[in-house]
Structure 1
């Protein structure tokens, strides 16, 4: 016998199956990342059609059998149409989804992981923060939630807290002040330079209260430096690439 449960969640991946079904990856509040079948979801008259679309935040009634979940009901809460109708925003949102699929807990409570991506998508849709800022803040906080928080309190060698420029060591997640960085043997491709402002931004995204995560502003040059370092730290830490990230960058180049 199976069990039925209710939780809200976000559709982070979807695949068409057969003539009318969808197979979904959901990031749910109660159960983290799960795979679920939505029978008949592609039929216009289906009661779960809207709630099982990519990037839909919905209340799901789930039935768990021996091996998989199935969706009995899906009541849409937010559709993020402003993201889905803009190709560049959609590409960035799909990158967020791929990261969550890789890093969020499986079959475990994941409220903070869900809150993070919902907040990021809402800001992306509203367009009130630069996409680079949303992306970098999302990356750093998701890594921190997943156990990959960098140590940004002070220079790992001399302990100094502030400096005009520091060097982030991408593989260890610590930074060195300019004086200590000169003596360090880490190769250039495993380093990232951070100005005082970029370091402050990175510290904010790692240590700030969740409600203030995206609430900061930076000059364009500093934001670019921070966002570049954030992405490089993520890729070095996870030791893999992401197809959605490559696609997002290809759109940025075209546009």
Structure 2
């Protein structure tokens, strides 16, 4: 019997494979980004069907194949079902997953990025936190985790905006979403985070194109 491994993670991508399977990309705490196949997950009633959905967070028991893992079972702690009830939240969440897929690497510790993704999806479901703010906090902190950022905003900004930047850069992930910005400071914060994103992240995200159309 093949040896299994149990990893904590979230499904970033779920795509059909063959007639009945799904190819999954998971961000895991222990091994970073991995590819796994959920055999039979597209068959009605298959126990792997629910855990093969994007946003599914929990523990995944897998065994290693030659070039990928194979999903044996899972214990899902959070499906983030609430995101599907709001088109805008769904688009923001899909963007977060795509960014996490871009930044994550195989066989690397994925703890901080996974925590950031989890907390940011929770922020999208919190009506007191504007989605615009959740997006920019997520973008800036993901750049910090990846080691590509500046300690201060890339151009002169107000004291309030500078403080928000410093707070995101220096705070633990669990404490990120504990502030709200006034409209003028929010626009300023958006501008400098966007400037940094364009400088450090040389990649076009498909989900961002959809999000920008949706949010105007």
Q: Could you tell me which residue of structure 2 aligns to residue 46 of structure 1?
A: 46
Q: Could you tell me which residue of structure 2 aligns to residue 201 of structure 1?
A: 164
* Superposed displacement of residue 16, structure 1: 1.1
Q: Could you tell me which residue of structure 1 aligns to residue 19 of structure 2?
A: 19
Cα distance in structure 1, aligned partners of 2:98 and 2:126:
22
1:103 and 1:2, CA in 2 relative to 1: closer, same or farther beyond 3 A?
A: farther
* Superposed displacement of residue 230, structure 1: 0.9
Q: Which secondary structure does the structure 1 equivalent of 2:125 belong to?
A: helix
1:2 and 1:150, CA in 2 relative to 1: closer, same or farther beyond 3 A?
A: farther
Cα distance in structure 2, aligned partners of 1:97 and 1:107:
18
CA contact (8 A) 1:135 1:227 kept: no
Q: Which secondary structure does the structure 2 equivalent of 1:116 belong to?
A: helix
Cα distance in structure 1, aligned partners of 2:125 and 2:195:
25
CA contact (8 A) 1:28 1:114 kept: yes
Cα distance in structure 1, aligned partners of 2:79 and 2:172:
27
| Matching of residue 234 in structure 1 with residue 201 in structure 2 | no
Over the aligned positions, Cα root-mean-square deviation in angstroms equals 1.6
Cα distance in structure 2, aligned partners of 1:199 and 1:26:
34
Q: Which has the larger radius of gyration?
A: 1
Cα distance in structure 1, aligned partners of 2:112 and 2:95:
18
Q: Could you tell me which residue of structure 2 aligns to residue 244 of structure 1?
A: 207
Q: Could you tell me which residue of structure 2 aligns to residue 163 of structure 1?
A: none
Where do 1:87-166 residues align within 5 Å?
87-152=87-152
Cα distance in structure 2, aligned partners of 1:245 and 1:73:
32
* Superposed displacement of residue 41, structure 1: 0.7
Cα distance in structure 1, aligned partners of 2:49 and 2:194:
35
Where do 1:157-176 residues align within 5 Å?
168-169=153-154, 175=155
Q: Could you tell me which residue of structure 2 aligns to residue 57 of structure 1?
A: 57
* Superposed displacement of residue 45, structure 1: 1.5
CA contact (8 A) 1:3 1:65 kept: no
Q: Which secondary structure does the structure 2 equivalent of 1:120 belong to?
A: helix
Cα distance in structure 1, aligned partners of 2:128 and 2:21:
37
Shift >6 Å, 4+ stretches: none
Unaligned 5+ segments in structure 1 are: 153-167, 170-174, 178-193
Cα distance in structure 1, aligned partners of 2:199 and 2:46:
44
CA contact (8 A) 1:12 1:54 kept: yes
Q: What per-residue deviation string (whole Å, max 9, x for no partner) do you get for residues 163-199 of structure 1?
A: xxxxx44xxxxx4x5xxxxxxxxxxxxxxxx222111
Q: What per-residue deviation string (whole Å, max 9, x for no partner) do you get for residues 32-66 of structure 1?
A: 11111101112222111111111111210011122
Relative to the length of structure 1, the TM-score reads 0.80
